[in-house]
Chains A and B, each alone.
Chain A
Amino acid sequence: MPTESLRIENLTTGYGRRKVLKNLSMVVEEGSVVGIIGPNGHGKSTLVKALSGLISTWEGRVFLKNTSIDNLPAHERVEKGLIQIPQGDLIFPDMTVEENLMLGGYLIFDKEELSRRLEKVYGIFSRLLERRKQITRTLSGGERRMLSIGRGLMSEGYMMILDEPSLGLAPKIIDQVYEIIAGLRQISPTLLVIEENPTRLQNIADIIYLLDDGEFIWSGTPSELKKNEDMLNTYLGI
């Protein structure tokens, strides 16, 4: 039986008194890539925040490798290997590219190991190497996304959550980003990828969930999803 990386049981949460996620349940098996799609404003980012601990859980449980993590603060979830690769807005704007990357390896105390990982990231993103001394607030959207992914790679975490990696990027850059995501599996085999639409996910995801109005209303393999074009049309307008 495959090991469960992440298990969500009846997760309910929101902001203030506004409930955003209602009774979500899902399982991510070790070594698999799971995609979550859904229209904007229906809880995708809230789910990411609830998993990484930036907002608290109202009801339900979250398990990472069979250990409950729903009561842990965000930084302790990172220690357990759950790494979030946020959208481009969660960078450190007044630091250089290299300082941002080094903070991705904050929990690594072995200096040689750190520089080995840094070289590895620069090997993947030559653009970041060119701009290593540049202040990150001056980077373009695509460069920020690369930085965000590179910073996540520095941790070599057990499982990664990618929050809309293609958002706001030119199609050519999205291709590059997805090539890199496919390569991520060698470092961190279990991925949870959030996207607005399934186009890019179809090639890499094992299972796709459709999140609408805070609930999972459908899940299945990419080929099953292709057969359900009516459903995609209804919920996502494609």
Chain B
Amino acid sequence: MDIFLQILFSGLAVGSMYAVGALALSLLWGTMGMLNLAHTTFIALGGYVAYFCMSVIDASWFFVLPLAFLSGLVMGYIYYHLVIRHIYANQNFSVNIIIASVAIAALGENTFLNLAGGEALRQPFQFTSGLKIIGVVLPYQTIFTFIMVIILMVIMALIMSKSKLGQVIRAVSQNPDAAKLMGINVQKSFAQAMMLYGSIAAITGVLVTGASQVFPSVGGDATVKALIILIVAGLGNLRAGIFMAFALGFLEMGVNYLFGSRYGFPSMLGFVIIVLLFKPNGFFGKEVVNRV
């Protein structure tokens, strides 16, 4: 029984970590068709903001998430004007942005290295104890991250479906020329989408680093896992992505416990390959039906 609980709890911990990393990435990829590999920079940003806020200027934990939100917002805006604006209008945006965002990720990593040094710092925005259930500990950090995943997911879904901003972002992503003919300023909308992305990504950065430490390349792992999860779940389907994050988390932890920790990640990749062999659009990805 406690082995089952052990797997359940650690699967929940890993799954919510994967889910939180995938949230913001899914927003950009699913709507703008933009695979943003500089996601890692935004995650590190969240981690360093938390460290700066609580360990450098000794402020209360209360300010961490609002500050991460703000700095992500600003960073998204800068990212748009520095990079995206110049390549968006050109052809092959979806390929060019992958290359450009790798460059930005490297730039971000080196900037953090110069500013904060290379060593791993303890990220103070975290819970240390946990809830004990039949001898097995469920960390408060896991509960908190899980709740935050649900909250952020609901907020994102509401923004995209109900708000004018979400409607405009979807319109621009589906047909930029048609959006212009509606009187939509496509450039401004893309900048707003980047600010929305940046703020969510930085908040998730606080959560991702909360379970570990913060160092310049801390977001790399989360970004790779998020990529895998979104591809296997089917692009543009946020709920499926979150579900898949937890499913893969449980799979990985289950295999770890049963066969040893070296088999966890490979078995996850094996699962991904099998899914894509039979469902190339992802597990929950729908085939697009076009009536001509």
Contacts and interface: CB of A to CB of B under 8 A. Distances in A.
Interface of A: 52-54, 73-75, 78-79, 83-84, 86, 90-95, 99, 102-104, 106-107, 137-140, 151, 155
A83 B168 CA distance: 18
Nearest to B177: A54
B155 interface: no
B183 A78 contact: yes
B178 A75 contact: no
Nearest to A86: B181
B178 A92 contact: yes
A75 B186 contact: yes
Interface in B142-174: 167-168, 170-171, 174
Contacts of B171: 92, 95, 103
B290 A103 contact: no
Interface of B: 167-168, 170-171, 174-175, 177-186, 288-291
A99 B163 CA distance: 12
A95 B172 CA distance: 12
A229 B167 CA distance: 50
B181 A78 contact: yes
Most buried by A among B177, B185, B290: B177
Contact of B180 (A54, A107, A151): A54
A99 B178 CA distance: 13
Q: A75, A90, A99: which has the most chain B beta carbons within 10 Å?
A: A75
B182 A91 contact: no
B174 A106 contact: no
Contacts of A107: 182-183
Contacts of B288: 137
A71 to B, nearest CB: 15
Nearest to A93: B174
Contact of A95 (B174, B177, B184, B290): B174
Nearest to B288: A137
A56 B182 CA distance: 18
Given A103-B167, A155-B182, 14 more contacts: A52-B181, A74-B177, A78-B180, A78-B183, A90-B177, A91-B178, A92-B174, A92-B178, A93-B290, A103-B168, A106-B168, A137-B291, A138-B289, A155-B183
A103 B290 CA distance: 21
A78 B174 CA distance: 19
B183 A93 contact: no
A106 B184 contact: yes
A92 B176 CA distance: 9
A92 B175 contact: yes
Contacts of B170: 92, 94-95
Nearest to A84: B181
A94 B171 CA distance: 9
Contacts of A74: 177, 180-181
A43 B267 CA distance: 57
A90 B175 contact: yes
11 contacts: A52-B181, A74-B181, A75-B186, A90-B177, A92-B171, A106-B168, A137-B288, A137-B291, A140-B291, A151-B182, A155-B182
Contacts of A93: 174-175, 290
B157 to A, nearest CB: 15
Given A92-B170, A92-B175, A106 B180 contact: no
A138 B289 CA distance: 8
Contact of A78 (B168, B177, B182, B290): B182
A94 B174 contact: yes
Among B179, B186, B289, B291, max chain A CB count under 10 A is at B291
Contact of A104 (B167, B175, B182): B182
A188 to B, nearest CB: 15
A107 B184 CA distance: 8
A91 B183 contact: no
